[in-house]
Amino acid sequence: MRRTTVLNLRRRTAGVLLATVALVSTAAATAPADAVQSSAVQAAAQAEKPVPAKYPQVAAKPYMGWSSWSLQSTNYPGVNPDGPGSFISEKNILTQAHALATKLKPYGYEYINVDAGWQLGGDEYGRPVANAQRFPRGMKAVGDDIHKLGLKFGIYTVVGLGFDVYRDGNTPIYNAPGCFTRDIVYPDLRTTNGWDQAYKINYASPCAQKYADSIANLFASWGVDFIKMDGVGPGSWKGAPDDPNHNNTEDIEAWWRAVQNAGRPMMYTLSWSLSHRYADVWKQNSNGWRIDTDVECYCDTIVRWDSSVKARWWDLPQWIDDAGPGHWNNLDAINVGVGEMDGLSDAERQSYMTFWAINAAPLFVGDDMTKLDAYGLKLLTNREVIAINQSGNPARPLNQDQLQQTWYAKNADGSVTVALFNLADTPAAVTGNFDQLGLTGKATVRDIWANQNTRNVSGQVSATLPGHGSKLYKITPVKKGSPSKPADVTATDVSRTTVSLNWRPSTGASSYKVYANGKQVATSSTTSAVVTGLLPQTQYAFTVKGVSGGRTSDASAPVTMFTAKPGGPVRYEAEASTSTLTGNAGISGCTLCSGSAKIGNIGYDASVTLHDITVPTTGTYLVKIAYTDGDTSRQSMLTVNDTDSYWVNYHGLGDNDWGTPQVTYLPMKLAAGANSIKVSNPNGYIADIDWITV
């Protein structure tokens, strides 16, 4: 969430921008709203087909390296002596490059990425030029020196046409006779990007693609290997359906074409907090995307656990299946190398590195490479951990209804990578059950950080972890049968007579058998099934077996669930007169919500409690919650009858759309008769709540 010509240090928490400090600025030119397009753009541009990646080796694995922004953002003493962001300079970039080449290059770290603040204005064609005071030899010379170290050179830009290069619309576009900047904007000079500090480009003009080409070609001529484009929407908390000015999908498609045709392999990544509902566009037209806000705290250290390292555990799940060769989920910089500067405990540093590694996130360090401490080097250079990351096999949570979480990834060799996390502030036991992980019998458990093996383990792995602590294991079954036991069976929908199930693939299975209370009730060639013909208000234990030829796996761990009452699932409106509101929680209008209303402003001392949620029999029921969240993901506790509490994760849209409901679900134990469910979070704001269905 940065820009080029005006370097702003910004932070947004709960929808509020907290700090803006300008380092350098250039005058923003204005133009008449009725700017006339040149004769070269009278014909509408032809729609172009998606361009396949010309260089498939780019981003074949999650990239590794270093980025300047974490140091630019911090108030840590001595890092930015001449004011906010002043760290960025040719001297400092090359110092970090030399340190990385010495300390981390042998382990696969190779990119040196120069973030916001390197640019000051544009050349006669509106292409970016370096701030000569900070980069006196220009960016090509910096890239050349980085390449001499056997490293790769990354650079930063923002989406849209900069105000400072518009120049009353008279700036010619390089290698595009008859094209000027007035030809690539809208007549009303509408603005775009995450800060509204650029003009939105009109891609109906063929000159617009020429402009993207001119900058991509310039970067290629400098030897650039990596491009970060910032302020992209939908995302960057802008670009909702009623906000087309901040929909930059056409920009991203044009830039992808430009990068593929620039004659040099260059990785192209997007930032920040991209909207997941455009995931297919991002996958087809980039090598990766930031799923969240900046990890940096903009404080006296580089990061803090609560601001905003821990948010990644909640923001990632909706993106897990989108990662793969050529395009990865970017969790932002990994700042675990210098304990005092990082602002984290050793337990937090290990959890940070573990989470990035198991989720195939790019590993780019943000620390001062000249000051890496012994523990930081241990974390950053563990070859087993790096191998897990580079395998490109993202993990996923077994569940997130508690702060003690088990994340896992099934590997091609039959082993399972398992990470235990305690996201609570105090010590707690965390357990990964073999049944849920799809493991049968005994296994060898390798504690990767401790470099220890334990043989003949069965049933589970468990550890008491400090607050924000973690364990990382590789679990290898003694007998690797095929097909393996299906893992992580989950109920996703319930009616009077049906239950929908999902599960993770069974190694070697070509089909699956589904059982209810021990009786086979369905077969499936995929990892999901809808079980029909069930009785209303009846408890069933569902299991799944993998099938390969004449072989059948052991049964999965059971998932137990009641079907709905004879009348079907019952919806309880959050805004009903029977609900209890506390604090500032209140009813707000919502056209697409049920009853055209929802409850908002929930969090801290504000809550909503829904009453008289009635079931005839005590047991586990699938509870669905409809909500709106235009931010990154938010969380709440659901407390049943003032006793049992469950955490629920609301996936955010990231585009400031608070009017489109989404639905999430979780199994909850309810008592016979009337129940109350309180929705709250004492530590932060949550999504707006539309209804709960049981």
Report the pLDDT value the prediction gives residue 479, as an integer from 0 to 100. 87
The token duo for 541 is 């234990």
User: For position 524, what pLDDT does the model report?
Assistant: 98
Residue 40 has what pLDDT?
A: 39
Domain ranges of the chain: 12-41+65-394, 397-477, 487-562, 571-693
What confidence score (pLDDT) does residue 48 get? 59
Q: Kindly state which CATH superfamily the domain 571-693 is placed in.
A: Galactose-binding domain-like (2.60.120.260)
| Residues of the chain above pLDDT 90, percent | 91
**pLDDT exceeds 60 at position 111:** yes
Question: Cα(358)–Cα(349) distance, rounded to whole angstroms?
Answer: 14
- What percent helix, strand, coil does the chain show, rounded to 5? 20, 35, 45
State pLDDT tens for residues 17-60: 223 223 332 223 323 333 333 333 333 333 456 788 999 899 99
State how far the Cα of 670 lies from the Cα of 462, in Å rounded to an integer. Answer: 28
pLDDT of the residue at 6: 31
In the block, residue with structure tokens 């993990």: 395
CATH class label, 12-41+65-394? alpha beta
Q: Taken in order 25, 30, 35, 39, is the CA torsion positive or negative?
A: negative
- Total Cβ atoms within 10 A of residue 597: 19
Torsion over CA of 235, 236, 241 and 247, rounded to 10 degrees?
-80
Q: What is the pLDDT of residues 62-87, one digit of tens each?
A: 999 999 999 999 999 999 999 999 99
How far are the Cα atoms of 85, 92, 93, 209, 514 from residue 67, in angstroms, in the given order?
13, 12, 9, 29, 49
Q: Do domains 12-41+65-394 and 571-693 have the same CATH topology?
A: no
Three-state SS at 621: strand
Instruction: Tell me the pairing of strands 634-640 and 644-650.
Output: antiparallel
pLDDT band at 115 (very low <50, low <70, confident <90, very high): very high
The number of CA neighbours under 13 Å toward the Cβ of 523 is: 7
Tens of pLDDT, residue by residue over 259-295, are: 999 999 999 999 999 999 999 999 999 999 999 999 9
Q: For strand 64-67 and strand 111-113, is the pairing parallel, antiparallel, or unpaired? A: parallel
> What's the number of CA atoms in the CB half-sphere (13 Å) around residue 449?
22
Q: How far apart are CA 210 and CA 198, in angstroms?
A: 18
Confirm if 425 and 455 have CB atoms less than 8 A apart.
Answer: no
Each residue's pLDDT tens digit, 479-531: 887 899 999 999 999 999 999 999 999 999 999 999 999 999 999 999 999 99
CA atoms in the 13 A half-sphere facing the CB of 34: 0
C-beta neighbour count of 40 within 10 angstroms: 17
The pLDDT of residue 1 is 35
Nearest to 355 by CA among 324, 317, 303, 326: 317
pLDDT of residue 307: 86
pLDDT at 38: 38
Residue type, 267: M
Per-residue pLDDT for 134 more than 60?
Answer: yes
CATH superfamily of 487-562: Immunoglobulins (2.60.40.10)
Q: Can you read off the two tokens belonging to residue 600?
A: 């908002």
Report pLDDT for 29: 30
Q: Average per-residue pLDDT in the chain?
A: 93
Q: Tell me: the pLDDT tens digits for 622-654?
A: 999 999 999 999 999 999 999 999 999 999 999
Cα–Cα distance measured from residue 407 to residue 421, given in angstroms and rounded to the nearest whole number: 8
pLDDT, mean of residues 579-586:
98
Q: How many CB atoms lie within 10 A of CB 316?
A: 24
DSSP-derived letter for residue 563 is P
pLDDT digits (tens, 9 = 90+) for 546-556: 999 889 999 99
Question: In this predicted structure, what is the pLDDT of residue 51?
Answer: 87
Alpha carbons 120 and 289: distance in angstroms, whole number: 25
The correct CATH number of 397-477 out of 2.60.40.1180, 3.40.605.10, 1.20.120.80, 1.10.287.1080 is 2.60.40.1180
Residue carrying the six token digits 């970060």: 228
Q: Are 229 and 158 in contact (CB under 8 A)?
A: yes
From the CA atom positions of the chain, what is the Rg in Å?
26
Q: If you count DSSP H runs as helices and E runs as strands, how many of each does the chain have, helices first?
A: 13, 42
CB 620, CB 490: distance < 8 Å:
no
- Shortest CA distance to 419 belongs to which of 441, 382, 380, 449? 449
Provide, rounded to the nearest whole percent, the portion of the chain with pLDDT above 70: 93
Lookup: tokens for 505: 């693939």
